Amino acid sequence: MAEPSVAQAQVLVAQRTTQEVKQLLDEGRRLVDAGDYRGAISVYQQAANLEPKNASIHSGIGYLYALQGNLQSSLSSYRRAVSLNPNNADFQYALGYVSGNLGDNRTAKDAYRKAIQINRNNVNSYLGLATVLLRLGDTNSAMWATEQAMNLDRNHPQVFELRGTFLMKQGKSKDAIALLKKARDIYERQGKQENVSRIDETLRKIGG
């Protein structure tokens, strides 16, 4: 019986690794379903050690860290995913979302713009971009982004909320109140009480 060549040995190792990774990912999904995010992260990290260039695994780890509220670790994982696969709109969106939540609005802006370049039909990328542009004081570009979002989904509550916020900043309280109330009604129908409370607070401040 001939000894396996180096190439054959490499194929056997790859097959074994792939099978092991598959088992780890299955176990990770089971832990996620059970609500054990910490355990799932540990399992996914083992998979990432076996397949360090698998962007999807790093993205999954980033998502789980975000669910735990550990945004700094989430950011590191999403940065890794984006560096491995910069043309994935979902990875870019996630990088924008986490960066924005950490207060890094410029990084968020760039990531959202890249996400839009890759996929022009994701309403959330436009809304994320509008939010960070508003924070950066670029109201005109933020308004453009919400218009693009509105073209994709005319009944998205965040579109009404953002446009109401723009009008409020421009001193157009009456028009702002009308849009904010629309957003509030949609959030209420969706059962998003936290968002309803936020808008109620804003309406109280501007006499709505």
pLDDT digits (tens, 9 = 90+) for 80-123: 999 999 999 999 999 999 999 999 999 999 999 999 999 999 99
The percentage of the chain sitting over the pLDDT mark of 90, rounded to a whole number, equals 75
- Residue 68 pLDDT > 60: yes
- Residue 208 pLDDT > 90: no
The full set of domain ranges for the chain reads: 19-35+47-140, 155-207
Q: Are 98 and 76 contacting, i.e. CB atoms less than 8 angstroms apart? A: no
Mean pLDDT of 49-66: 92
End-to-end CA distance of the chain: 85
Tell me which CATH code domain 19-35+47-140 carries: 1.25.40.10
Tokens in use for 27? 């176990």
pTM: 0.82
Residues 6+ apart with CB under 8 A from 154: none
Tokens in use for 154? 């005319």
Q: Are 57 and 73 contacting, i.e. CB atoms less than 8 angstroms apart? A: no
Question: What's residue 167's pLDDT?
Answer: 87
